Structure 1
Amino acid sequence: MRQFLTLLTCCVGALVGLAGCQSAPLAYAAPHQAARSPAPAPLPDSLRLTPVPAVAELPDTLRQAIGQLHRDLGPAAAALRPAVLEQACVGYLTLHPTGRIERGGLLAVADMDLPNTTERLWVIDLAQRRVLHRSLVAHGQGSGHLRARRFSNAEKSACTSLGFYRTSGTYGGIHGYSRRLQGLDKGQNMNAFDRYVVLHAADYASPEYVRQHGHLGYSRGCPALPPEQYKQIISTVQTGSLLLLSGPGLASRWLDGPAAGRRFARRGWR
């Protein structure tokens, strides 16, 4: 009950403006006393996840292989929804032979439909069938409060952009070690590079921030990472790796079931 009231308080807290892509967290006002009510008001952000459609025309052999991969990943991937992993795997298998993704055997996926209080980013070693990293990840201020519900590719939208990304080079930014991202989905995230949507650290993306406020803070669209983990994650997803930011309304030309099936039949996850 205490966790529910904390979450309710955080969900109705006032939003304040943020400046820059790596922006400050939202202000938070602690309640003086928990209100007693026999029927609490519903949360502004529903915790009911949006169903993820299955990839069309995906061969049964590949769907079964993805299901086995999910099982092999074990408890570290228990919260990774099978349909989201399916999207990520299909995109990987479709993109890799095009030359847009140079680094094989590695896949990063974030389910932005999950609440930002959960570790919703996974970095997966496909060859070894294990989770290398799992962490919190922030979404953009314009995308919603507890969960990301609105997505945009537009400048100054402060929104997260859904779709597949290629990791690019690193640089020393406002928050130190950061990695550029290139959007691969026309109409959904192609402006990411120009918007400086990057992987970087942020204090408001930390477990401590969640403990204090009941939710993460917000970026200007960047998938911001916990200060305790960002260096390892950024170093692992080297240039040419694939990252999927999944969420409601994801539409991508790379979710090509037949093409992914043909690739997997020829080379597996290599």
Structure 2
Amino acid sequence: MIKTINGHMKRRFWLAAALLFILTFAIISSRSATVKKAAVATKKEAREEPKATSAFASYVEDIFQNAGLKTSGLDYSVFQKAITGYYNLKQNKALPQSSSIITVIDFNKASTEKRMWIVDLATKQLLLNTWVAHGQGSGELMATEFSNKSDSHQSSLGFYVTDNVYYGKHGRSLKLDGMDAGFNSNARARAVVLHAADYVCENTIKSLGRLGRSFGCPAVSPEVSNKIIDLIKGKNMLYVNANVNGYTSKYLNEGFIANFAAPADSAISITQN
């Protein structure tokens, strides 16, 4: 009788052990499959993200090289920021789809250097590279201080959209709308416009060792002011850059890169998921 009971107990033990083994194996297999799926998905995303990023980088590099921007002195990282802002402005409908002209001003460079570039992204051409003045309150040879405040006589950083032409105390001038809240959004109230100024010339550089300075406007040479205005007027982007602490812009958001597709022509193409 005791042997029979012991036999039943042994069979039950081994049956329970077998069931436990099968259950454990099933759980481990399930978890393993889940981990593998997650790993495959991660690898797929990793492959796709560099591809999208690479597409944007290749597009920027292509224009940078074809337009001869390196030779002209424009830093690649500054140009890339300008293009990033351009696409974000497009997505926010702050620029018309037909717009392909961008203007870059790099205040990391001295006023004795030609630190304004006008580029046609559609034709991949540098249209103009010239001098541009900064504000009196921003510095002498170099612009180091920036403000959005009235009467500061300082230049303002960030992204602008050009507007209409008007005639003021500096003659034919171009109105600008500052797009970066807190950094250049008071451009209209401060009358920060693009205009001609006699102190933006090589003779001033020779006599003072720097350009003359404005009250905060991006002032240009009278010799090229009309050409500049005609090139960039009417809802095109102007970007003022400088490496200073604290400047941020929603237009430097790189979220669009994941869906980026280089345009075949002047139209902007951002694929949708």
TM-score tier (shorter): 0.7 to 0.9
Q: Which protein has the bigger helix share?
A: 2
Q: Which amino acid aligns with 1:61?
A: A
User: Is residue 254 of structure 1 aligned with residue 251 of structure 2?
Assistant: yes
| Partner SS, residue 117 of structure 1 | coil
Q: How does 1:135-146 map to 2 (within 5 A)?
A: 135-146=130-141
Contact 2:153 2:215 in 1 (8 A): yes
Gaps of 5+ in 2: 1-49, 268-273
- 1:91 matches 2:88: no
Report % sequence identity.
34
* TM-score, scaled to structure 2: 0.74
Aligned length: 214
- Counterpart in the other structure of 1:43: none
1:216 to partner: Cα distance: 0.4
Q: Which has the higher contact order (CA 8 A, sep 6+)?
A: 1
Measure how far apart 1:213 and its partner are: 2.0
Quote the offset at 1:263 in angstroms. 4.7
Q: Does the Cα contact within 8 Å between 1:69 and 1:129 map onto a contact in 2?
A: yes
Q: Distance in 2 between matches of 1:62 and 1:75?
A: 17
For the 8 Å contact 2:194–2:217, the answer to whether it is kept is yes
User: Do 2:72 and 2:129's aligned partners in 1 also have CA atoms closer than 8 Å?
Assistant: no
Question: Could you tell me how far 1:265 is from its partner in structure 2?
Answer: 5.0
Contact 1:162 1:246 in 2 (8 A): yes
Residue in 2 that maps onto 1:117: 112
Of 149, 157, 162, 2:152 maps to 157
Counterpart CA distance in 2 for 1:96 and 1:208 is 39
Q: How high is the TM-score relative to the length of structure 1?
A: 0.75
1:64 maps to which of 58, 63, 73: 58
SS in 1 for 2:144: coil
Question: Which SS does the other structure have where 1:227 is aligned?
Answer: coil
- Alpha-carbon distance between aligned partners in 2 of 1:231 and 1:85, rounded to the nearest angstrom: 24
Quick check: 1:176–1:201 contact (8 Å CA) kept in 2? Answer: yes
In structure 1, list runs of 5 or more residues that go unmatched.
1-56
Q: Which residue of 2 aligns with 1:38?
A: none
Instruction: Spell out, residue by residue over 1:189-209, the C-alpha distance to the aligned partner (whole angstroms, 9 max, x if none).
Output: 000011000000001111221
**Cα 1:257/1:178, change in 2 over 3 Å:** same
Letter in 2 for 1:203: D
Residues 91 and 260, structure 1, Cα contact 8 Å, conserved in 2: no
Q: CA RMSD in A?
A: 1.9
**1:268–1:59 distance in 2 versus 1, CA, 3 Å:** farther
